[in-house]
Chains A and B, each alone.
Chain A
């Protein structure tokens, strides 16, 4: 339900000098991590009139419900483009934090993929060799070595694939910093502002019509996550993304129990203040974000099975969010074929924290007229439409 927040956009053509929301150089739709990053980099590139529209509150959807794992090596060798995007993504976030001098609670953290049977152990060994050949920093840990790396893991686990050089941060800090720094650079954010329709002049978009007024613009970025499909329809574009629900739980703050990002049937990680976070269910149930007891019990059971110590620990809270997922599970980035000056950032699936900032940056560079980064090529919308952008 959209909350009425009064007139936020000043649409006043009668007074000179107060036309600030009358026309925009760029309108970014969606104030999740991707939209926030894109608006920030647009302003940073010198675009003077960047407006960010959000139908709810800022980072209120997936970006406020994510774990904060930055694990480029999560992508297997069969997904080299995603791996590359992830590597650049991590670097972009690190550069952002250094340049803007913000504390994102970013720490280096290992990634563990567990195995429970000798057969799966053999598969893991083969995978490790393959990844080592491809240049990943990766090793296979047998039970004894695993105990040193992750001492509280259940002794029933036989081993794990270990990637020591991954990272973790506080996603709320990242989103908050992008928001704050973007605003400092002139980005204007309008929350609780829903788009009603888009006006066109020929094949060019001319205005975004919101419940609070019109904004004239010719450049639009659709960064609306799973709602990108709905927003796309208003613009006349078919964007094949669907929501994929994920639920998570957080425990009370604890002394160190979990040292790495641990992946099994659920993901488990311990954040900076010490809360153990677990979950990451994948539920194709549409736009439903209610908490369910089935998922809650599933996550608790799985987390406690991995870390027996968690059994006696207090669960404080649960949440749910929606990822945006394309049919091939890859991001959709860049131009929209057939629609001039409309850009897309969506389909970031379950690696949104890692890939959102670089995606926002690359699209901002396109808008600012810089040369097109070839990193975008494999993620074009044209892979679904067959059209050339």
Chain B
């Protein structure tokens, strides 16, 4: 191969290659990725400590998924109706505004890679930029856990988070006749929002049994605000006369070009449908709400050690009490470190930031300790409650065995559960082997959607722990991006790439 093409860069298209590799290299004391509850609270604490902080978020404005601000043109008439999260979020965002001058907020920026020495590469507009912070806090959040069933790829099947976003932020209804299927309290929240917005919620299909709630009831003692909220949501569902079917799950979506019918059935404790209990209902929309999976693309790319916590969002980075990972100077906070909700996220964000500020020498050990100790106390109570909640809506390990062989698991490459199982039968014992045997996980989403399901199928079939099964090798780019963003002139000068 020749090396002379580079000379041609002086030609008419030279301007297309004028961007330097990775843009200009900038440095920062602290970088925070994700401006949700955890990221915002981290940034506030850093600003208070006088640390030079950069907060980077994918969206146009801070708030994250849960404190997502309304689009321009919408005004809130009744704050209470927007739910407690809205009120909490507003408080936090107001505090953020107070410190806004001391925080550099980079919006509409997508981190596509983290390289050696915490070097962040991100895309803003058409530009590729680099930031090298001394300390790094990752608050990547979480995303909806997919639960494949036949027909789940039909138009009209949404994740609960997606439906909530449509109703809450975009003010549109996904359909007219809606079945809510899944597990957990978000289903009640969603039913309320949908009913208020004028949709017909046919029923709530809840996989947990009605008995589970009582078992953990005492754990909620003391969390009056949260209990009051739960009561309000339950009352709302009753008022709207929406039936709740416990120990039930969706087993199929039917339709030609979209959802026309949903089939659900009673399930046993392993979530296996009990034959003869199937029931079909006419609906145009199905919401899948099986909880959240921690978003860990960046912590994996960093090379942080991860643990598998099935009830807290699956793979989560290992972290100490102060949210520091096994990599010095890399912290995690919020749902990406275990799905425990916005209130916990806010406190975790504060803790991580205080520790980072201390290590940067901007606050004394004593100050750090006094600021941290009250947060730690508050966190203990919150975590106990959220933990109890997660125990109520736990997904059994055998849950994936109910996924029929003809169900598509990898949507991007249209790989079925049967094909995954066939590859295991032919000797695959690791995620990488399944990927290479079936090409699952090689499409647009890079395994975000299918990885958990495949890992669970593999773990169950080969009797290996999820730790032993592991995950797909993390590689940049974290999300698909157009090539022109990365075009550089200096790229060709890098020695040793071509011979």
Interface positions of A (Cβ within 8 A of B): 3-6, 56-60, 64, 113-117, 120, 156, 172, 175-176, 179-180, 183, 189, 191-192, 250-252, 263-266, 281-284, 290-305, 308, 310-319
Contact = CB atoms under 8 A, between A and B. Distances in A.
B1 A294 contact: no
Contact of A5 (B464, B492, B499): B464
Contacts of B21: 293-294, 297
A264 B427 contact: no
Interface string B461-499: 000100010100101110011111011110110101111
B475 A312 contact: no
B23 to A, nearest CB: 11
A116 B5 contact: yes
A294 B426 CA distance: 38
Looking at B8, B427, B443, B497, which has the most chain A CB atoms within 10 Å of its CB? Answer: B497
A165 B359 CA distance: 63
Interface in B416-473: 426-430, 432-433, 436-437, 439, 442-444, 446, 464, 468, 470, 473
Q: Majority SS of interface residues in chain B?
A: loop
A140 to B, nearest CB: 15
A316 B444 contact: yes
A363 B121 CA distance: 47
B214 interface: no
Nearest to B423: A176
Given A3-B470, A180-B426, A293-B121, A313 B483 contact: yes
Contact of B8 (A156, A310, A317): A156
B17 A191 contact: no
A313 B473 CA distance: 24
B443 A316 contact: yes
A120 B483 contact: no
Contact of A116 (B7, B427, B442, B487): B7
B8 to A, nearest CB: 5
A314 B482 contact: yes
Nearest to B115: A293
A30 to B, nearest CB: 15
B477 A301 contact: no
Contact of B427 (A183, A308, A314): A183
A319 B475 contact: yes
A263 B494 contact: no
Contact of B483 (A60, A180, A192, A303): A303
28 contacts: A56-B432, A57-B436, A117-B7, A156-B8, A172-B439, A183-B426, A191-B427, A251-B483, A252-B444, A291-B475, A293-B119, A293-B121, A297-B21, A297-B128, A298-B497, A300-B483, A300-B486, A300-B491, A301-B17, A301-B491, A303-B483, A304-B484, A305-B9, A314-B483, A315-B486, A316-B446, A316-B480, A319-B473
B497 A293 contact: no
Given A114-B5, A305-B9, A317-B442, 14 more contacts: A58-B427, A172-B437, A175-B436, A180-B426, A251-B483, A266-B498, A282-B498, A294-B21, A297-B22, A300-B491, A301-B486, A301-B491, A305-B5, A315-B482
Contacts of A5: 429, 464, 468
B5 A283 contact: no
B13 interface: yes
A315 B480 contact: yes
Contacts of A291: 113, 475-476
B16 to A, nearest CB: 7
A53 to B, nearest CB: 13
Nearest to B434: A57
A116 B4 contact: yes
Given A293-B121, A319-B475, A301 B487 contact: yes
B477 A60 contact: no
Contacts of B128: 297
B424 to A, nearest CB: 12
B462 to A, nearest CB: 9
Q: Select the residue from B5, B17, B113 with max chain A CB neighbours within 10 A.
A: B5
B491 A297 contact: yes
B3 interface: yes
Given A58-B433, A191-B427, A300-B487, A284 B496 contact: yes
A315 B430 contact: no
Nearest to A264: B5
Nearest to A251: B483
B225 interface: no
Given A116-B8, A283-B497, A302-B492, A311 B482 contact: yes
Contacts of A313: 482-483
Best-surrounded residue of A290, A312, A316 (most CB of chain B within 10 A) = A316
B484 A315 contact: no
Nearest to B303: A290
Nearest to A316: B480
A115 B2 contact: yes
Nearest to B3: A265
B437 A282 contact: no
Contacts of A284: 496
Contact of B1 (A263, A297, A308): A263
A289 B13 CA distance: 33
A318 B11 CA distance: 29
B427 A317 contact: no
Interface string B271-285: 000000000000000
Given A156-B8, A265-B5, A318-B476, A192 B429 contact: yes
B2 A120 contact: yes
Contact of A311 (B11, B439, B487): B487
A293 B22 contact: yes
Residue among B470, B483, B486 with the highest chain A CB neighbour number at 10 A: B483
A304 B487 CA distance: 8
A283 B489 CA distance: 19
B464 A302 contact: no
A180 B17 CA distance: 46
B498 A265 contact: yes
A191 B432 CA distance: 12
Interface centre among A58, A64, A250, A310 (most CB of B within 10 A): A58
Contacts of B6: 265
A304 B470 contact: no
A323 to B, nearest CB: 12
A179 B486 contact: no
Contacts of B16: 311
Given A60-B433, A284-B496, A316-B446, A304 B427 contact: no
Contact of B475 (A298, A299, A317): A317
A179 B427 contact: yes
Nearest to B441: A317
B483 A310 contact: yes
Contacts of B498: 265-266, 281-282
B486 A297 contact: yes
Contact of B496 (A6, A172, A283): A283
B430 A312 contact: no
Contacts of A316: 442-444, 446, 480
A114 B489 CA distance: 20
Nearest to B473: A319
Given A293-B121, A311-B487, A120 B439 contact: no
B491 A298 contact: yes
B307 to A, nearest CB: 15
A6 B430 CA distance: 13
Contact of B113 (A56, A293, A317): A293
A299 B8 CA distance: 16
B477 A264 contact: no
Contacts of A116: 2, 4-5, 7-8
Contacts of B477: 296, 315, 317-318
A105 to B, nearest CB: 11
Contacts of B475: 291, 317-319
A339 B483 CA distance: 51
Contacts of B17: 301, 305
B497 to A, nearest CB: 4
